[in-house]
Structure 1
Amino acid sequence: MTRVLVVDDEPPIVRTLVINLKARNYVVDAAPDGTTALRLASENRPDAILLDLGLPDMEGIDVIKGLRGRVRVPILVVSARQTTDEKIAALDAGADDYVTKPFAMDELLARLRAAVRRTQPEEPSNEGAVVTTRSFTIDLHVKKARRKGRDVRLTPTEWHLLEVLIRNRGRMVSQKQLLQEVWGPSYQNHAHYLRVYMAQLRRKLEADPSHPRHLITHPGMGYRFEL
């Protein structure tokens, strides 16, 4: 069964989420603050995390960074903060999606299902599963990235985005196709997601992120992976 950690200090919202998640056969843990969230994430190893940014003991962005040091599971921010800068900051810190309050429960659950599915992508065939560039090596079969002899930790969304680009190596993949394959059909107007995640992949993999050799942008159109 899928285990979800709900992190929110508003009891009515926690109660609503717990009832709806358990009704759909999720196992649910709840944390009222960032400190508890970090502890439960380490102890219970959830499959996904729903996180409010307005916590009483620490900034939600710091919680995301702390969680990313412990788990690689999808983190969905569920917050009343609605500005683009705040959304980008959360995504840049390592969140996989951002849902604003008030939210429709059906939409939130659909996004949760999609996020969990991204952690279980189709297993690639062994042929072409290992991709080696001058800067890094990617093994799609065992989901390992290495750069300068060291493992590179990628989030589930970063992996999914990279896999789509590698499968289409040498060809431009449109923004629309990437958004649909990685996040789903309802995300076709969320091009800022791509900008954030491509910047993260370049920081982690490229020798010179400001002048990428492998993760190439076609401005306003899409992205391309080159060996």
Structure 2
Amino acid sequence: MKILVVEDELKLAEYLRKALTENSYVVDVAHSGTEGRYLAIEGHYDLVLLDVMLPGLDGFAVLRELRRDKHVPVLMLTARDKVEDRVKGLQAGADDYLVKPFALSELLARVQALLRRGALPTPGQDSTVLKLADLELDLVRRKASRSGQRLDLTAKEFTLLTLLLRRHGQVLSRTALAEQVWDMNFESNTNVVEVAVRRLRSKLDDPFAKKLLHTVRGMGYVLEDREP
């Protein structure tokens, strides 16, 4: 597996290169957005670790240009932990988002998860349109539909569904959803995630025979197309 790290902090870039190499990955490193864009588009990588704040071109610009040509999985790294930044990255085509500082174990787990499931759209599919079974999400027009029927989602429900769909097949804990969608630390007495999932399910699944949003008891939620 070959990974491209685009990171302008030299010490962090070297740390990531060494850690990934020690875990049997082949690693290339770029220290600017311009260099990263060139390598990502011209090279052949299984995954790109992309910093947001870069000289030349920022990570969002690199991601937009990359998505015009390729569908390689992208994990964005950033010190900017606002929900708006994470949403912007996901809407631009990122497959996952990790806020600095992060634990190496978490980074490796996310890298492995992205490589394992591929995080690739179906051939010919526009990277701004996500699909699973009869569900379709248009990230540019911010529209969601099932079997051609429009789903009337709130802004938070759309963000929640985008995250679940980008990581379909992967169980997401309530903590992960709370942190990435609501920018809050999860507390056991807070039921905001359960309420939001229940409302989303009422629009996404209740009117349709096939259910896509599943609860995994004791672990969290997963969006997947299960066999009957």
Output the TM-score relative to the length of structure 2: 0.62
Residues 31/115 of structure 1: CA separation in 2 closer, same or farther (3 Å cut): same
Q: What SS does the aligned partner of 1:28 have?
A: strand
In structure 2, runs of 5+ residues without a counterpart are: 137-145, 148-160, 182-196, 211-228
Q: Is the 8 A contact 2:95 2:119 kept in 1?
A: no
Q: Which one is further off, 93-102 or 55-64?
A: 55-64
Counterpart-to-counterpart distance in 1, 2:45 and 2:27: 9
Give distance in 2, aligned partners of 1:26 and 1:81. 27
Counterpart Cα distance in 1 of 2:179 and 2:133: 19
| CA distance 1:6–1:218, shift in 2 (3 Å) | same
* Alignment partner of 1:114 is 2:101: no
In 2, the alpha carbon distance for the partners of 1:181 and 1:91 equals: 11
CA distance in 1, matches of 2:76, 2:86: 9
Shift of 1:97: 0.6
1:182 partner SS: coil
User: For each residue in 1:81-108, what CA deviation from the matched residue of structure 2 results, as whole angstroms up to 9, or x when unmatched?
Assistant: 0000011011111101110000000101
How do 1:44-123 residues align onto structure 2 when only pairs under 5 Å count? 44-119=43-118
1:67–1:219 CA distance, 2 compared to 1 (3 A) = same
Q: Do the aligned partners of residues 183 and 190 (structure 1) sit closer, same or farther apart at CA in structure 2, a change above 3 Å counting?
A: farther
5 Å-filtered alignment, 1:146-185, equals: 151-154=124-127, 158=130, 162-163=132-133, 182=168, 184-185=170-171
Alignment match, 1:43: 42
**Residue in 2 that maps onto 1:190:** 177
Give me the whole-angstrom Cα distance separating, in 2, the residues matched to 1:180 and 1:89: 14
- Aligned equivalents of 1:187, 1:63: Cα separation in 2: 30
Give the residue type in structure 2 aligned to 1:182. Answer: H
Task: For 1:99, give the aligned amino acid.
Answer: L
How many residues align? The count is 168
Give yes or no for contact 2:8–2:54 (8 Å, CA) kept in 1. yes
CA apart distance, 1:45: 1.4
Contact 1:3 1:26 in 2 (8 A): yes
Q: Deviations over 1:53-74 (max 9, x none)?
A: 0001122211110111122011
Rounded Cα–Cα distance in structure 2 between residues aligned with 1:34 and 1:179: 27
Q: Within 2, Cα distance between the matches of 1:40 and 1:180? A: 24
- The percent identity for this pair of structures is 35
Is 2:179 aligned against 1:219? Answer: no
What is the SS of the residue equivalent to 2:90? helix
Alpha-carbon distance in 2 for matches of 1:45, 1:97: 20
Q: Where in structure 1 are there 5+ consecutive unaligned residues?
A: 122-139, 145-150, 195-216
CA distance in 2, matches of 1:10, 1:19: 14
* CA distance in 2 between partners of 1:183 and 1:48 (Å): 18
Give me the CA root mean square deviation: 3.6
> Matches of 2:166 and 2:86 in 1, distance apart?
19
Letter in 1 for 2:46: D
Q: Using the alignment, how far apart are the partners of 2:83 and 2:58 within structure 1? A: 17
**Partner Cα separation in structure 2 for residue 86 and residue 45 of structure 1:** 27
1:164 positional shift: 9.1
